[in-house]
Amino acid sequence: MDGVVILGGGQGGFQAAASLRQEGYAGPVRLVSDEPGLPYQRPPLSKAYLKDGDAARLALRPEAFFAASAIELVHDRATALLRETREVALASGAVLAYDHLILAPGARNARPPLPGLDAPGVLGLRTLADAQALRAALPATVEDGARAVVIGGGFIGLEFAAVARAFGCAVTVVEAAPRLMARAVSPETSARFRGKHESLGVDLALGVPVAEVLTDAAGRACGVGLADGREIPAGLVLLAAGVRPNVELAQAAGLEVADGIAADAQLLTSDPAISALGDACSFPDPRTGARVRLESVQAATDHARAVARRLAGRPEPYAALPWFWSDQADWKLQIAGLPPRGESAADVHDLPRGGFAVRRWEGDALVCVETVNAPAEHMAARRLLAAGGVSRVALAAQEGSLARLAKSG
Ligand SMILES: Cc1cc2nc3c(=O)[nH]c(=O)nc-3n(C[C@H](O)[C@H](O)[C@H](O)COP(=O)(O)OP(=O)(O)OC[C@H]3O[C@@H](n4cnc5c(N)ncnc54)[C@H](O)[C@@H]3O)c2cc1C
């Protein structure tokens, strides 16, 4: 028996290995990781880790867990999928045979074609190594009285900006779209976060793309030039302009790719001996049937659990409700559901116990709830959306309270 090989030892790959054991899978489980050390969580890299530098807290499980669970960690890089012989070729020259292969290679930072982007002083934030470099660069930037410029006003760029301000660093966030986190949140939530970041002292340049990274005589990044001609000097440039799924190995092996590695409602790829999960895969949204690719801990871990259950002999279609969080200064943003498609309405509620909620509708159906510092409202929204949704009439009958509606069910 060759067992299961998992390509990628990140959030989803690790969870697949752990869940296989929890589900009683008894065959060999090998987890191939091209990053050093134990599998770790990425979310703190742009939050607590930047502040405390405590890498030990990032590990998803201690080393002893892997031995005790008979999960073999293979530190190597997969270089080819040999589907005919059901093998994975590794950079070391070794070959791993599998009965089933789980593709969990995640995503990498998108690199827009900007002059100067490869210069020293331009950093990314995807891996622990990236976060270590950023953590080392930040105090020096503050000491020099220099500015940090962030390319991209999405979650990671804004989380970094809030931490950098807490270090006393001058920060400018440049975002090509006219509003912050435009892909993921409503205009109403964007507007409130704009106010929050301005109150923290973050300078925002919205609706204008970065045209180039400026370099000094030594070839080091020293700022950015914007498409409108403005130049912003900086001691540190963070590239946070989104990610691209790692689909190349799957594509080269002839698997179907559609934004990510294409998976079906069971998270199987076009090869029934191969599953895909996490940031790297696209799959049919159980609520709309539309193909989606999500970049979240929730998707990676719920995908992994669903794949493990199937491999342990208990298949069921993937049905989990998407949810997400982001911490920016003292604001915890939580999102339940996916943004509405097409024309939609949203209403904003300042909640009696603090925080606010933005409810997003598709016609008469509630599809997404964004909350800030309102965990009870978030949990109520998750419960209701997972149970099949909420209509305006049902909510009105509970005087607009999601919490009451959730309790009444
Ligand atoms: C800074 C940061 C902050 C985040 N904050 C949040 C948050 O607040 N909330 C949230 O829900 N999500 C957050 N995320 C997203 C979340 O971490 C990801 O969605 C999640 O890690 C995806 O899991 P994954 O297993 O698909 O990919 P990953 O965790 O990226 O793991 C993929 C692994 O596969 C490895 N790999 C790739 N190719 C190969 C190969 N050929 N051979 C061997 N190994 C390979 C990669 O090096 C990597 O280790 C954040 C991400 C980052 C980077």
Which DSSP helix (H) or strand (E) runs through 108?
A: strand 107-109
The answer to whether 2 touches 98, Cβ cutoff 8 Å, is yes
Are 287 and 379 found together in one domain? Answer: no
Q: Could you identify the atom of ligand 1 that is nearest to the CA of residue 15?
A: 25
Q: How far is it, in rounded angstroms, from Cα 361 to Cα 346?
A: 6
Cα-only R_g, the chain: 22
Question: How many whole angstroms from 279 Cα to the centroid of ligand 1?
Answer: 7
Are 280 and 227 found together in one domain? Answer: no
Are 179 and 230 found together in one domain? Answer: yes
Q: In this predicted model, what pLDDT tens digit does every residue of 114-123 receive, in sequence order?
A: 999 999 999 9
Q: How far is it, in rounded angstroms, from Cα 206 to Cα 338?
A: 24
Q: In this predicted model, what pLDDT tens digit does every residue of 209-267 receive, in sequence order?
A: 999 999 999 999 999 999 999 999 999 999 999 999 999 999 999 999 999 999 999 99
Cα angle 71-77-82, degrees, rounded to a multiple of 5: 90
The sheet carrying 260-262 orders its strands as: 257-258, 260-262, 281-284, 291-292
**Is residue 116, in this structure, part of any structural domain at all?**
no
Are 286 and 257 found together in one domain? Answer: yes
Are 293 and 340 found together in one domain? Answer: no
Q: In this predicted model, what pLDDT tens digit does every residue of 162-185 receive, in sequence order?
A: 999 999 999 999 999 999 999 999
**Is residue 318, in this structure, part of any structural domain at all?**
no
> What's residue 354's pLDDT?
86
Q: How many CB atoms lie within 10 A of CB 349?
A: 17
Domain that holds residue 183: 122-241
Q: How far is it, in rounded angstroms, from Cα 101 to Cα 13?
A: 11
**Is residue 102, in this structure, part of any structural domain at all?**
yes
Crossing angle of helices 155-166 and 187-200, in 10° steps, is 20
> What's residue 400's pLDDT?
83
> What's residue 407's pLDDT?
86
Are 231 and 255 found together in one domain? Answer: no
Torsion 360-150-33-69 (CA) sign: negative
Are 136 and 230 found together in one domain? Answer: yes
Average pLDDT over residues 199-203: 98
Average pLDDT over residues 49-67: 96
Are 132 and 182 found together in one domain? Answer: yes
Does any ligand 1 atom lie closer than 6 A to the CB of residue 106? yes
**Is residue 321, in this structure, part of any structural domain at all?**
no
One DSSP character per residue, 375-392 reads HHHHHHHHHHHHTT--BH
Does any ligand 1 atom lie closer than 6 A to the CB of residue 340? no
Q: Could you identify the atom of ligand 1 that is nearest to the CA of residue 297?
A: 11
Average pLDDT, rounded, for the chain: 96
> What's residue 378's pLDDT?
96
Q: How far is it, in rounded angstroms, from Cα 190 to Cα 66?
A: 42
Residue where one domain finishes, among candidates 188, 216, 241: 241
Residue 201 three-state SS: coil
Average pLDDT over residues 23-35: 97
Q: How far is it, in rounded angstroms, from Cα 157 to Cα 242?
A: 9
Q: How far is it, in rounded angstroms, from Cα 318 to Cα 99?
A: 22
Closest-CA residue to 19 (of 304, 299, 330, 230): 304
**Is residue 204, in this structure, part of any structural domain at all?**
yes
Q: Could you identify the atom of ligand 1 that is nearest to the CA of residue 14?
A: 25
Q: Has residue 80 got a pLDDT over 90?
A: yes
Are 231 and 166 found together in one domain? Answer: yes
197 Cβ partners below 8 Å, 6+ apart? 158, 161, 162, 173, 180, 204, 328
Total tally of structural domains belonging to the chain: 3
Q: Is 343 exposed, middle or buried (0-12, 13-18, 19+ CB in 10 A)?
A: exposed
Q: Is 148 exposed, middle or buried (0-12, 13-18, 19+ CB in 10 A)?
A: buried
Does any ligand 1 atom lie closer than 6 A to the CB of residue 294? no
The answer to whether 5 touches 78, Cβ cutoff 8 Å, is no
Q: Whose alpha carbon is nearest atom 15 of ligand 1? A: 296
Does any ligand 1 atom lie closer than 6 A to the CB of residue 11? yes
Asked which of 57-71, 97-111, 308-322, 342-356 is least confident by mean pLDDT, the reply is 342-356
> What's residue 355's pLDDT?
94
Q: Could you identify the atom of ligand 1 that is nearest to the CA of residue 77?
A: 42
Are 381 and 337 found together in one domain? Answer: yes
Give residue 347's Cα distance to chain centre: 26
Does any ligand 1 atom lie closer than 6 A to the CB of residue 296? yes
Q: How far is CA 160 from CA 49, 147, 149, 254, in A?
A: 11, 13, 10, 38
Would you give the DSSP letter of residue 85?
Answer: T
Q: In this predicted model, what pLDDT tens digit does every residue of 333-353 receive, in sequence order?
A: 999 999 998 878 899 999 888
The CATH number of residue 367's host domain is 3.30.390.30
**Is residue 22, in this structure, part of any structural domain at all?**
yes
Does any ligand 1 atom lie closer than 6 A to the CB of residue 126? yes
Are 182 and 126 found together in one domain? Answer: yes
Beta-bridge mates of residue 224 = 213, 232
Residue where one domain finishes, among candidates 241, 258, 290: 241
Average pLDDT over residues 295-321: 97
Average pLDDT over residues 287-305: 97
pLDDT > 90: percent of the chain: 91
> What's residue 409's pLDDT?
67
Q: Has residue 297 got a pLDDT over 90?
A: yes
Does any ligand 1 atom lie closer than 6 A to the CB of residue 13? yes
Question: How many whole angstroms from 65 Cα to the centroid of ligand 1?
Answer: 20
Copy the structure tokens of residue 155. 């979650």
Best residue among 5, 6, 11 to mutate for probing ligand 1's pocket (most ligand atoms within 8 Å of CB) is 11
Residue where one domain finishes, among candidates 279, 311, 343: 311
Average pLDDT over residues 343-370: 91
Q: Could you identify the atom of ligand 1 that is nearest to the CA of residue 326?
A: 8
Q: Could you identify the atom of ligand 1 that is nearest to the CA of residue 279?
A: 26
**Is residue 138, in this structure, part of any structural domain at all?**
yes
> What's residue 7's pLDDT?
98
Q: How far is CA 101 from CA 28, 84, 301, 404, in A?
A: 12, 13, 17, 45
> What's residue 353's pLDDT?
84
Question: How many whole angstroms from 257 Cα to the centroid of ligand 1?
Answer: 19
Does any ligand 1 atom lie closer than 6 A to the CB of residue 325? yes
Q: Could you identify the atom of ligand 1 that is nearest to the CA of residue 243?
A: 53
Best residue among 51, 181, 297, 323 to mutate for probing ligand 1's pocket (most ligand atoms within 8 Å of CB) is 297
Q: Could you identify the atom of ligand 1 that is nearest to the CA of residue 42?
A: 17
**Is residue 250, in this structure, part of any structural domain at all?**
yes
The CATH number of residue 192's host domain is 3.50.50.60
Are 248 and 237 found together in one domain? Answer: no
The answer to whether 8 touches 103, Cβ cutoff 8 Å, is yes
